[in-house]
Amino acid sequence: MLIIENDPGSGPGRLLDWLDDRGFVPVVVRAWADEPIPDRPDGHVALILLGGPMLPDADTASPWLKAERELLRTTTEEGRVPALGICLGAQLLAHTFGGEVLGKYGLPEKGVTELSLLPGAEDDPLLAGLPSTVRGIESHQDQITRLPADAVLLMSSERCPHQMLRIGRSWGVQFHPEVTVDRVRRWNQDTLRSWGFSPEVVIAEAEQHEAELEQTWSGLFGRFLDLAAD
């Protein structure tokens, strides 16, 4: 399982536990530390792109992004293994295939947020059995503002219309299924306040919904791993 890490503060989190539970071995490439990104997903059963604070085309400050986009393009176009992009990873998927991502666009989302499943989700292999509304952890100011022409929109929220998309066997989620309550507790409180959020409320809501978040996203990730196992 190939995992690309774009920022030291946006690691795989509880994805590692879910991978271990199913017997998958993660290979984490710390792109931010200049570890090389492979050209192809050969030798791996799936690709995961993690988050980060940069925009998907910020090649000057984050020069590895070009190679990451090419790996994502190859993986998606060949369709031999599934891919999952989280936050920046979702934005990379949209940008790579002709969509638009804008920085500090609209209103930020931070902490537990309600997500609505859309009609395109009815037949999606990752979303089977989910109710029409679920909760996820958000942490972003940038967002996808236009989808690629061949993308299927699967989820939205009040502040961000493009919360989950699919292109072929590649999915992108703006929210963070990997984030634990412990990570939320470590978020910078000054940043939370500057974005218009109360740190106490953000932490309390994450604690309140911890079991629900674990159940929802471990199930979705499990279905992603089913595709990888096939």
Mean pLDDT of the region 67-88: 98
Cα 42 to Cα 98: distance, rounded to the nearest angstrom:
25
The pLDDT tens digits of the residues spanning 26-55 come to 999 999 999 999 999 999 999 999 999 999
Q: Report residue 166 as tokens.
A: 């699919």
Q: Tell me what the pLDDT averaged over the chain comes to.
A: 97
**In sequence order, what are the residues at sequence separation of 6 or more whose Cβ sits closer than 8 angstroms to the Cβ of residue 177?**
15, 86, 136, 137, 213, 216, 217, 220, 221
Backbone angles phi, psi at 129, to 5 degrees: 85, -5
Beta bridge partner(s), residue 208: none
DSSP state of 157: -
* pLDDT of 128: 84
Average pLDDT over residues 166-171: 98
pLDDT above 90 for 137:
yes
Domain 2-229, CATH: 3.40.50.880
**What one-letter code names the amino acid at 127?**
L
The DSSP bridge partners found for residue 84 are 48, 171
Q: Is the pLDDT of residue 230 over 90?
A: no
Separation between Cα atoms, residue 11 and residue 5, nearest integer Å: 6
**Cα–Cα distance measured from residue 16 to residue 63, given in angstroms and rounded to the nearest whole number:** 26
CB 124 within 8 A of CB 163: no
Instruction: Tell me the catalytic residues.
Output: 87, 176, 178
